Amino acid sequence: PARSLQGGALGPPSGRAASPRAALQASTRVVPGAPANLSLTSPNFTPHRTCTLTATPPTTTPVIDTTVRQGTATTNFGALTTLTVSSGAGINQRIYVKFDLTTCVPTIPSTAIVRLATLRIYVTALPAACRTVDIFKVTAAWTEAAITWNNQPFGATINNPASGTRSGTFNVGTPVGCQNLAVGYVTGTLTSDVATFVAGTSTNFGWMLRDDVEGSATTRTSTYSAKELGTVAQEPQLVVTYVTVP
């Protein structure tokens, strides 16, 4: 049995090694009033909330998506059930997508701290080469029913805007070692963009996705499910995780 009480802790009998439990007790000090120093308004103690915006049903307007095609530059493809990114000689294709963050329930306050924002789109056909897809924040208004290659916000010049100004990126293709080499959801991280949308420091016009190197001599195409497909398990999504601090 313990023989003494020293320094607020029980000590072992003389000549006998302390047990791990006794050692822990001996090294632990309780400081009166310490819990009062922990603020429950700190972000570290605030529960994370998540808003997931899914492009369903097919007629939903809070989420819009479409493809623009260089080869048919004045045609709108907003009603198609697929979305396409393609690099080729005169036949490049891009995706435009937008999610209305004001439809989140509960509403994300402008003072919220966005921890993570992830775009999820479902790839159904992959190129035979591993291709990089760039994601750019759109800076002008567009509509699902009217946008074409010629009138798109970024203009009709290929490889514009420059890859260095992208907000996010992912790789897709069938070769071994490619980031996404099978059918399923692919993701792009867009936390900084969504944070500015929530704070109101920039306007949410959505994003444009294009091949990192448009105008490839060999056509490279990746195909994704559009909201018009009507398959919930494959719909485009934006997942936003955030915290609110009183």
Q: Can you give the pLDDT at residue 74?
A: 98
Cα-based angle 57, 124, 152 (whole degrees, multiple of 5):
70
Beta bridge partners of 113: 243
- Quote the CA–CA distance of 131 and 126 in Å, as a whole number: 9
pLDDT at 5 over 70: no
Contact 47, 245 (CB under 8 A): no
pLDDT at 16 over 70: no
Pairing of strands 82-87, 63-69: unpaired
Q: Can you give the pLDDT at residue 24?
A: 41
- Quote the CA–CA distance of 196 and 166 in Å, as a whole number: 15
Give pLDDT tens digits for 176-210.
Answer: 999 999 999 999 999 999 999 999 999 999 999 99
Least confident of 55-64, 90-99, 158-167: 55-64
Beta bridge partners of 207: 97, 137
Contact 211, 133 (CB under 8 A): yes
- Tokens standing for 85? 């990114």
Contact 124, 223 (CB under 8 A): yes
Give pLDDT tens digits for 113-142.
Answer: 999 999 999 999 999 999 999 999 999 999
> 47 preceded by cis ω (within 30°)?
no
pLDDT at 20 over 90: no
Q: Can you give the pLDDT at residue 45?
A: 58
Contact 203, 153 (CB under 8 A): no
Distances (CA, A) of 135 to 25, 47, 103, 165, 223: 55, 30, 23, 9, 15
- The pTM of the full predicted model, rounded to 2 decimals, is 0.82
Average pLDDT value over all residues in the chain: 88
Q: Can you give the pLDDT at residue 19?
A: 53
Beta bridge partners of 117: 240
Q: Can you give the pLDDT at residue 245?
A: 80
Q: Can you give the pLDDT at residue 189?
A: 98
Q: Can you give the pLDDT at residue 47?
A: 83
SS3 label, residue 240: strand
As a whole number of Å, the CA-based R_g of the chain is 26
Which class for 100: exposed (0-12), middle (13-18), buried (19 or more C-beta within 10 A)?
middle
Give the rounded percent of residues in the chain with a pLDDT score beyond 90: 80
Mean pLDDT value of segment 41-50: 71
Give the rounded percent of residues in the chain with a pLDDT score beyond 70: 81
- Quote the CA–CA distance of 104 and 98 in Å, as a whole number: 14
Mean pLDDT value of segment 36-55: 72
* pLDDT bucket at 44, cuts 50 / 70 / 90: low
Lookup result for tokens 């009138």? 151
Q: Is the dihedral of CA 166, 167, 172, 178 positive or negative?
A: positive
pLDDT at 13 over 60: no
